[in-house]
Amino acid sequence: MGRKAALVAWLRELDVQGIRDVLSSREDAARTRPHSLRALADELTTTASLRIAVEGLDQGARDVLDAVARLGGRADVEAVAEQLRCNGKAARAELKRVLAQLRARALVWPAGGGVVGSPGLRPLLDEPARRITPAPRLPRRTAQHRGYADRAGIAPATSTVDGTTRLLAFCDLEPVACRSGLGLRELRRIAGVLRAEEARVRLWVELAVEVRLLAAEGGWLLPTTRSDAWRAAPTADRLAALVEAWPRLAGVPGRQRQAVVEPSPSDGGGRARRGVLARYAELGPDEAFEHRHEVVAELAWSRPAVWGAGVAEAVLVEAESLGLVALGALTSLGRVLLEGGAGTAAGTGGAAAAGAGGAAGTGGVAAVAGRFVPPSVSTADLRPDLTAVVEGLPDRELSAVLELVAEEAGGSGGVWRFGGAGVRRALDLGHEPDALLARLGAVAAHGVPAALADLVREVARQHGRITVVPVACCVRTADPVLLAEIAARRSLASLGLRPLGPTVLASTKPVAETLALLRAAGYAPASAGADGAPVVARVPRQRATPPPVRRGGGVVDGWGNGRRGEPLGEQDLSRLAVALVDRERPRQWYVPPCAESRRMGAVRLLRDQSLVLRDSEVLLLAEALVTRTSVEVAVANGPRTAVKHVITPVDHASGNLTATCGPRGEAREFLVSDIRSVRVVARA
């Protein structure tokens, strides 16, 4: 007997409760609503369903399942116990618990005195386990006021909003190269400029990409059109947009990797992140976990496929950076995120819907986020040492001024530094020195210090002493007379030709346009490179724009696994289990009552003998025959006429219907094939 046949046989031995337990633990297979136990076995043994089932196992169950897969046909309880050294009473009890868990998931089942593993099952571990990995101790809890965590989460949440804002400003000023992702070299460069850890910068980049504030285009990471509205939004709405984007991040934390620069699918990722929040949500309102490493160890053991290789630790760091977890407890912001907030809407009154990608919840996350960030400030303390100190998060105008003039921004404490390069950048953008000082004075809490004013004026005195004139290309010839003729041609005035020497003219148009106009004027110019070598023009080949990548839809569960069909409730699972069991049991013949049997026989005969009557009329006539009630019939009288009679059928044989009719109750016979219609007798 094959493994799948053995699975079907074992399923047939289960009662309704046993089948319901299997459907409940393998919900992805139940959603397909199998019509038989054999169809259920087919769903339980698919690769996708097995992957989801195995990912939900703890480390002890994975050890036992790996042993069963390695033993193959020789597997039985004693062989598994011997391989995993289950000699003591506690080890035997743990093996019994694990086997019950695996049977409930239909990953193993008893057959012929042995244990059979699901077909398609492969070893899960690189090396066979020597024993069942014991469960770590439950994380110890301690009493803690619920408000402490919220207050401790303010500083990291504010830092994340500030860091993401500074990241957008950096990408707006500096070119950031990226292809399929933001590489480690660029991440480290940005981290050095922003004075932040590489992991934090990766988190800021992926959050900004998920909220559609940054996008990869043409090989560069650029701010999107939504970024301006997000930066102008209130601080609480900016934090809410980042918080709601966090569970959707596709990147796996805890690994040294490049940053993901493509938004994840709408129903994508978040298994590890939501799972950590759910574990902290099990705490009481005034409780906290005493030791963080105990939580990490328990998570890594409970679902190693999700939280292995330091993922749980990295997820906790991310959650703390956003103010979702603090001091070993879930904050109110993390709780409202886990509960789903109050829907998604524009947290910034229309503009933020575009800026934040519609991610901020008006009544849920955004309302709570206001307690985790300080209000925006509009002034800064400009100091004589050419620094600016901002007590809080700068608003839109203050950020614009500081980003315009400051040479270097970032670090802790909201400190901005001024230098000649920053002032020169502002002058390059067309700002006059007096207007620049006036704009600085408008955001200065105590006025512009003399040192900063002297710096602006000194840089302004040096600015513009050397000018650079744009030249698109040059026209050269060894004949000065020909060059003078070209410069004097009116048809070439649009080129803006200016003499740079006796044999060189400067053109304001690109090479291709200059060549075309010279040829249209009757000349025969040739193109040359920067080194003077001739350039042979080639016609570029046309390329079609590739279609966008289509992402698969479907429902995704709380762990990010794909699901088919609609979710099933408790009653749906019970009804499905009953239906599956009933289909496998032999059915008893149903003996209808006498009247019902006569009615069904009359319906079959009348339907066969009449090709005119509708099914409803056949049923009505059969009912009248069985119950001896009156009906009105129209009987054919010639090719195109019919006569109506009110009759009470009393017998039916050989295609003839015997009935009483008329006021005297005379007995008459009618051919069923002549009856054209049957109606209920109209009451007077």
Quote the percentage of the chain above a pLDDT of 70. Answer: 84
**CA 59 to CA 268: how far, in whole Å?**
25
Q: Which of 1-10, 220-229, 280-289, 402-411 has the lowest mean pLDDT?
A: 402-411
> For residue 532, what pLDDT is reported?
67
- Average pLDDT (216-242) is 87
The confidence score (pLDDT) of residue 142 equals 92
Tens digits of residue pLDDT in 450-475: 888 888 888 888 776 655 666 888 88
Place of tokens 């701010």: 223
At residue 361, the pLDDT reads 43
Count of C-beta atoms within a 10 Å radius of residue 275: 20
Q: Note whether 388 and 382 are within 8 A (CB).
A: yes
- Of 152, 154, 164, 226, whose CA–CA distance to 370 is shortest? 154
Distance CA 117, CA 134 (A): 22
Residue 539 reports pLDDT greater than 50? no
What's the pLDDT score for residue 255? 66
* SS3 of 530-595: CCCCECCCCCCCCCCCCCCCCCCCCEECCCCCEECCCCCCHHHHHHHHHHHHHHHCCCCCCCCCHH
The pLDDT of residue 550: 38
Mean pLDDT of 484-497: 89
Domains of the chain, by residue range, sit at 3-117, 143-369, 381-462, 473-520, 594-680
Q: For residue 407, what are the contacts with CB-CB under 8 A and spacing of at least 6?
A: 417, 418, 419, 420, 421, 422, 423
In the predicted model, is pLDDT for residue 356 greater than 60? no
Mean pLDDT over the full length of the chain: 80
Q: How far apart are CA 360 and CA 367, in angstroms?
A: 9
CA 44 to chain centre: 26
Predicted confidence at residue 75, as pLDDT, reads 74
What is the model's pLDDT at position 175?
83
Confidence class for position 319, pLDDT limits 50, 70, 90: very high
pLDDT of residue 511: 86
594-680: which CATH architecture?
Roll (2.30)
Residue 354 has pLDDT above 80, yes or no: no
Angle between helix 154-173 and helix 396-405 axes, rounded to 10 deg: 50
Q: What is the DSSP letter of 639?
A: S
Using the predicted structure, report yes or no on whether residue 558 has a pLDDT greater than 50: no
* pLDDT of residue 384 exceeding 90: no
Whether the pLDDT of residue 614 is over 50: the answer is yes
- Average pLDDT of the segment spanning 519-524: 81
Using 50, 70 and 90 to split pLDDT, how confident is the model at 243?
very high
97 forms beta bridges with none
Strand positions, DSSP E, 437-557: 473-476, 498-501, 504-507, 555-556
The residues, ordered by sequence, that sit 6+ positions from 37 with a Cβ below 8 Å of its Cβ are 8, 11, 12, 19, 580, 583, 584
Percent of the chain with pLDDT over 90: 8
Count CB neighbours of 381 within 10 A: 14
Residue 74: per-residue pLDDT: 67
Q: Is residue 497 pLDDT above 80, yes or no?
A: yes
pLDDT, tens digit (0-9, with 9 covering 90-100), for 54-68:
888 888 888 888 888
Whether the per-residue pLDDT at 357 is higher than 60: the answer is no
Quick one: which of 609, 635, 634 has its CA closest to 622? 609
For 373-433, the three-class secondary structure string (H helix, E strand, C coil) is CCCCECCEEEECCCEEECCCCECHHHHHHHHHHEEEECCCCCEEEECHHHHHHHHHCCCCH
Span 234-258, average pLDDT = 83
Q: How far apart are CA 520 and CA 512, in angstroms?
A: 12
Q: Does residue 258 surpass a pLDDT of 60?
A: yes
Question: Which among 10-24, 113-127, 382-396, 571-585 has the top mean pLDDT?
Answer: 10-24
Q: Which helix (H) or strand (E) holds 643?
A: strand 642-653
Smallest Cα–Cα separation from 8: which of 580, 579, 576?
580
SS3 512: helix
pTM of the model: 0.64
In the predicted structure, residue 289 carries a pLDDT above the cut 90: yes
CA 439 – CA 432 distance, rounded (Å): 11
- Helices then strands, counting H and E runs in the chain, come out as 30, 24
pLDDT value for 681: 81
Angle at 267 between CA 266 and CA 268, to 5 degrees: 100
- Whether the pLDDT of residue 135 is over 50: the answer is yes
Least confident range from 14-18, 401-405, 518-522, 531-535: namely 531-535
What pLDDT band is residue 593 in, cutting at 50, 70 and 90? low
Instruction: State the pairing for strand pair 631-636/642-653.
Output: antiparallel
Task: Give the pLDDT score at 408.
Answer: 57
pLDDT, residue 332, reads 92
Average pLDDT over residues 519-539: 70
Question: Sorting pLDDT into bands at 50, 70 and 90, what band is 629?
Answer: confident
Q: Report which DSSP code applies to 490.
A: G
92 Cβ neighbours under 8 A, 6+ residues apart: 81, 86
| Length of the chain (residues) | 684
pLDDT average, residue stretch 551-565: 42
Q: How high is the pLDDT of residue 586?
A: 55
Strands (E) located in 271-396: 287-289, 325-326, 329-330, 381-383, 387-389
Is 73 or 345 the better-scoring residue by pLDDT? 73
Distances (CA, A) of 573 to 97, 200, 567, 570: 24, 44, 10, 5
Query: What are the residues facing 143 on neighbouring strands?
Result: 287
Is pLDDT above 70 for 267? no
Least confident segment among 67-76, 378-387, 618-627, 672-681: 67-76
Predicted local confidence at residue 256, as pLDDT: 66
Whether the pLDDT of residue 682 is over 80: the answer is: no
